[in-house]
Amino acid sequence: MPPRATSSAPGMASKRIKKEITDLSKENLGSIILYPIESNIFQWKSILPGPIGSPYEGGSFEIEITVPEDYPFSPPKLHFITKVYHCNIASTGAICLDLLKHAWSPALSLYKVILSLSSLLTDPNPSDPLVPAIAQEYKRDRKKHDATAREWVKKYALPKSIPPADESKPKSTTSISRPKMINRPSSHTSNSSNNPIPISLPTPPISGIRRPISSRDPIDLASDSENENELNGNSRNGELLNNNNNGNQVESGNGSGNSNPTNGERRVKRSRLNNNGPGSGSGPGGASAGDAIVIDE
């Protein structure tokens, strides 16, 4: 029988727990994980790997441990959080183990209890079952029992592992992915497409033949008013030729070669006649409509 708890049991339990924490740092736990919760040293957690060679191999079983206030005089309370197909472990996680009942001793520790649970997974005790149906299957059809236990391991007890990163893809340097930049058309491009730039076309050349100055007649073109005066003078010369039968000298606006003395800068355009003189034409006074000559610029 475990010793009865005294009034100083909570303080004694704290000292014992702290001692076991120190001893755990010296133990080689292997792949077993056992640690107290920081906020309450009376609450512990353990990760028990499935024993090699057993139907539970490859599994990872989480166990929750509650240490009583009169520890080590009373055994700790353990139950499985992970589901296990086992005749000594109920679906609620309760465990049927002698060490946690009448076989408990204050000399035992939490680490030794976890080792006993690992041995229970390897060698179940169908004689003192917590689930009789599984115990009967274990006795009568061991092969079927082990196959079902492995299926439960795959379904409930596989360890949660981080998937390996794909080496073919470049690793991201930041945790937040940046959005890709969108190439939008610039205002210059849109303006150029909507408003095309006008293209200046070259001025078409003026048709004609340019002659050297030496081959031209020294005749200057006057304004439009001077051309009208010239035509009026030619008509008056024609009338004078018809009225003067005595052979008087015919007046010509451009035959005398005299220019208006008041307009020094303006020179009268001389009319060129086909026969260069009166009486040589076919009309009156030798002037006719065919006497006009177009002068190329």
Q: Is 96 a catalytic residue?
A: yes
> SS3 of 37, please?
strand
SS3 content of the chain, % helix, strand, coil (to 5): 30, 10, 60
Which residue is catalytic, options 96, 130, 131, 287? Answer: 96
Residues 73-96, buried b or exposed e (16+ Cβ, 10 A)? bbbbebebebbbbbbbbbeebebb
Residues 6+ apart with CB under 8 A from 232: 253
Tokens of 10: 């909570």
Lookup: tokens for 228: 């009208």
Would you say 41 and 24 are in contact if contact means Cβ atoms under 8 Å apart?
no
CA–CA dist 50, 154 (Å, integer) = 12
Q: Which residue has the tokens 């009338």?
A: 239
Ramachandran bin of 182, using left for φ above 0, alpha for ψ from -120 to 50, beta for the remaining angles: beta
User: Looking at residue 178, what DSSP letter applies?
Assistant: P
Beta pairing partners, 77: 66
255-290 b/e with 16+ CB inside 10 Å = b?
Answer: beeeeeeeeeeebbbbbebeeeebeebeeebbbeee
- Residues acting as catalytic residues: 96
